[in-house]
DNA sequence: AAGGCATCCGTAAACGTTTACGGTAGTATT
DNA sequence: AATACTACCGTAAACGTTTACGGATGCCTT
């Protein structure tokens, strides 16, 4: 098809070795020759064949981010992943690495899919997200020796680096705040699958309750699907409870909009009739009444994630601090009006 | 690192050629040998090196879908891309091909990014989405000879296959319907960039107006950002118009929720005070009053997209109909209450 | 002037596959 | 029994790079 390094070398009356060195900015090549080669490459539209290069170098220059299409990327928090991608790509850019997303079909087992992609050798390192409490992908990647990092902890531990948002602090702060305002029946939301963050959040919420001498009614742990419709459904379930909670904490960014819609249809107004604490999303700044919510520096989180990955790759060991990086990523509470409602005494 | 075909061959006392043939299910190899090889491969955990294979075969077995992270994947219609992915992957699965997403950083030129990815040889075929009226990516891919298909037409035409949603019909049906209900001041929404669908939609809306002896007031073409906040902004701009339109047509699936929110804050109720026609999104089934909206079979669209791509690849020429496929994908109007409002006589 | 050194470049092997070709058996055909 | 065919397998070249090694040239040192 197009020209290779061989054709380029012939055209320049040089050996392919020299051309390769010139293109890769290696030391022992005449600056003038280097210039000639560069110009000719541009003129002839030469692009290195990545397969040949990967074969020889044993690396691809690509980092992969795995996500599942069935879960609706967006549902997990809209700008959430996009912001993280931006952070990841910022770091990758410094090393001439690129990012691709591995899109696991909804009807396929995530483990099988990952296995296929890894055996394709599509990437030098992998980021997996939405970790489950028990996540076979982790053991698999570890056994294969592929550098990887997880966004989210897991009880499946292979000693890999991870970055995770501080859901403990989130639960504690939310509960503390609500209890201080007189609430005793506080609903919390939990994912409807084995997502690890759900377990972390629920455990912490329970602990925070007992720290105040309260106990979290199991009935008040409402399962959700991570999208707007899921928030709407939560509103329905919440209003249908025999003894209505006076407050609710939303674990997922997408829920607030749907919850607001569901509540408003029932004439229940956040901040006046019920206290709501949620998470930052593209919609949240526009919600009315303004949402009291947790926000994270997701761009920074993406950067940290990427740095943790690179630090675990031998090739970049000299650039990034050694040792496996594991960080709990801080979250910040933004005051709004949605939790202004105080429970009766 | 791990075992290669050479080690496998030594372990079996076979030549690498035979092992390769056995693994690739080629005819001239003893069934028993084939079995032995397969078992040994499994036992030793052999996985073919994709770089070596690609180098030799000249293909990667991967199809790439390019999107821009800056535009917020979700913003362009949430489940929109996810449904399309599902369709694409269904077809790809039939040919042992896989899908990856190329995530162009928001701050990088889409053309440059694509150029890098193509030169990486990361995929055998490329799908590009969100085509612009003038889209340099198209010329580039054509000049490189990479098989590709676009989701969306463009005035940059390189003879490539495309699939595009029927925005003409959408504009026509919406305007016809609204005019029939007495509306004469109908606002339409258009993307705030050079997206091709914006041009198509606006042109058709104009034609539909003149077919009824009306003219579309340029002031009523409201620019939008493709997400919920964009819908909210549209509501604001719409209500601020000196002479308020009696109807509005939303081109993007994400707009309706934000628009509803904006309108409701101003006490304006869709279907009672203004007619609204939008597009299907994950939220739309839950909106109240129910949204009159256009819906497409996006799963099927993804399949068609993928088939159009494969049909343009010599390798699959015998499986898919020859010739470059270009299809306008039908859209369907779902009745709701949001456009019940009839303009005065 | 002979040796040493630096600079630049060519040679060839290697990365892990695939595949056209030829070779060796064994079996069937004349 | 010579021939032809089939079934299976090994050999080796090829894909497009990178890179260790050595060779050639010219300059500087003694």
B121 contacts A50? CB cut-off 8 A:
yes
Three-state SS at B49: coil
Residue A77 has pLDDT above 70, yes or no: no
- C1' of D2 to CA of B28 (Å): 27
Distance from residue A61 (CA) to nucleotide C16 (C1'), in Å?
A: 18
- pLDDT at position B166, please? 98
Domain boundaries, chain B: 5-48, 62-164+298-329, 167-295
Q: What is the mean pLDDT of chain A?
A: 90
Tokens at residue B14, please? 């076979």
Is B167-295 assigned to CATH 2.60.40.1510?
no
pLDDT at A76: 38
Distance from CA of B160 to the nearest CA of A (A): 19
Instruction: Check whether A6 has a pLDDT greater than 70.
Output: yes
Query: What's the pLDDT at B64?
Result: 93
Write out chain B residues lying below 8 Å of A264, CB-based: 264
Query: So what's the pLDDT on residue A120?
Result: 73
What are the tokens at A240?
Answer: 């249908």
Inter-chain CB proximity B51 and A54 less than 8 Å: yes
pLDDT tens-digit series, residues A99-133: 888 888 777 788 888 887 887 778 899 999 999 99
Residues of chain B under the 70 pLDDT cut: 1, 69-79, 106, 344-345
pLDDT of residue B125: 94
Q: What is the CATH number of domain A62-164+298-329?
A: 3.40.50.2300
Q: DSSP assignment, residue B330?
A: P
Q: What does the pLDDT look like over A259-287, one tens digit per residue?
A: 999 999 999 999 999 999 999 987 787 78
Closest approach of B164 to chain A, Cα-based (Å): 22
Protein CA at B35 to nucleotide C1' at C21, angstroms: 25
Instruction: For residues A249 and A175, give the distance between their C-alpha atoms in angstroms, rounded to a whole number.
Output: 8
Report the residue from B73, B100, B287 with minimal CB separation from A74.
B73
Q: Which CATH architecture has domain B5-48?
A: Orthogonal Bundle (1.10)
Inform me whether the pLDDT recorded for A142 exceeds 80. yes
**Nearest CA to the C1' of C10 belongs to which residue?**
A15
Pair B104, B110: CB distance under 8 Å: yes
Residues in chain B: 345
**pLDDT score recorded for residue A79:** 64
Alpha-carbon distance of A340 to B4, in angstroms, equals 64
A330 touching B (Cβ < 8 Å): no
Tell me A291's DSSP state: P
What's the confidence (pLDDT) of residue A70?
A: 52
**Structural contact between residues A266 and A239, judged by C-beta atoms closer than 8 angstroms:** yes
Rg (alpha carbons) of chain A, rounded to whole number: 25
Whole-number Å distance between alpha carbons of A60 and A49 = 11
Q: Residue by residue, what is the 3-state secondary structure of B260-299? A: HHHHHHCCCCECCCEEEEEECCCCHHHCCCCCEEEECCHH
Give the residue ranges of DSSP H helices in A97-181. 110-119, 136-144, 167-180
B207 touches A at CB < 8 Å: no
- Taking the Cβ of residue B105 and every Cβ of chain A, the question of whether any pair is shorter than 8 Å is answered with yes
Six-digit token string for A247? 């407050």
- Of A63-67, A70-74, B81-85, give the lowest mean pLDDT range: A70-74
Q: Can you give the pLDDT at residue A107?
A: 73
- Whether A2 sits inside 8 A of B229 (CB atoms) is no
**B210 interface with A at CB cutoff 8 Å:** no
Nearest CA in chain B to A226: B282
Distances (CA, A) of A68 to A111, B48, B80, B120: 11, 25, 15, 24
Phi-psi region of B43 (alpha: psi -120 to 50; beta: other; left: phi over 0): alpha
Q: Which nucleotide is closest, CA of B55 to its C1'?
A: D15
- A5-48 with A167-295: one CATH topology? no
């Amino acid at each position: 098809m197009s020209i290779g390094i061989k054709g380029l070398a012939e055209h320049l009356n040089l050996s392919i070795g020299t051309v390769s060195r010139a293109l890769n900015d290696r030391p022992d090549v005449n600056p003038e020759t280097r210039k000639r080669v560069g110009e000719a490459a541009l003129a002839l539209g030469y692009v290195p064949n990545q397969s040949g290069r990967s074969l020889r170098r044993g690396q691809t220059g690509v980092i992969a981010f795995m996500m599942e299409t069935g879960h609706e990327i967006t549902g997990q928090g809209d700008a959430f992943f996009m912001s993280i991608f931006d952070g990841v790509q910022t770091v990758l850019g410094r090393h001439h690495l690129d990012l691709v997303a591995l899109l696991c079909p909804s009807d396929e087992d995530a483990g099988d899919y990952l296995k296929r992609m890894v055996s394709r050798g599509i990437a030098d390192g992998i980021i997996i997200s939405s970790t489950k409490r028990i996540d076979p992908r982790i053991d698999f990647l570890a056994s294969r020796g592929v550098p990887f990092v997880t966004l989210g902890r897991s009880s499946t531990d292979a000693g890999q680096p991870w970055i995770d948002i501080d859901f403990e602090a989130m639960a504690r702060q939310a509960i503390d705040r609500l209890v201080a305002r007189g609430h005793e029946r506080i609903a919390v939301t939990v994912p409807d699958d084995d997502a690890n963050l759900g377990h972390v959040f629920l455990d912490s919420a329970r602990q925070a309750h007992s720290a105040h001498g309260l106990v979290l009614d199991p009935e008040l742990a409402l399962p959700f699907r991570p999208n707007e419709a899921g928030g709407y459904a939560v509103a329905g379930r919440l209003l249908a409870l025999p003894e209505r909670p006076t407050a609710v904490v939303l674990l997922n960014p997408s829920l607030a909009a749907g919850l607001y819609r569901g509540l408003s249809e029932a004439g229940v107004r956040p901040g006046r009739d019920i206290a709501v604490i949620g998470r930052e999303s593209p919609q949240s700044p526009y919600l009315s009444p303004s949402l009291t919510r947790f926000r994270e520096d997701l761009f920074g989180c993406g950067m940290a994630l990427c740095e943790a990955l690179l630090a675990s790759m031998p090739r970049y060991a000299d650039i990034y601090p050694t040792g496996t990086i594991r960080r709990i990523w801080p979250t910040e509470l933004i005051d709004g009006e949605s939790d202004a409602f105080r429970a009766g005494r």
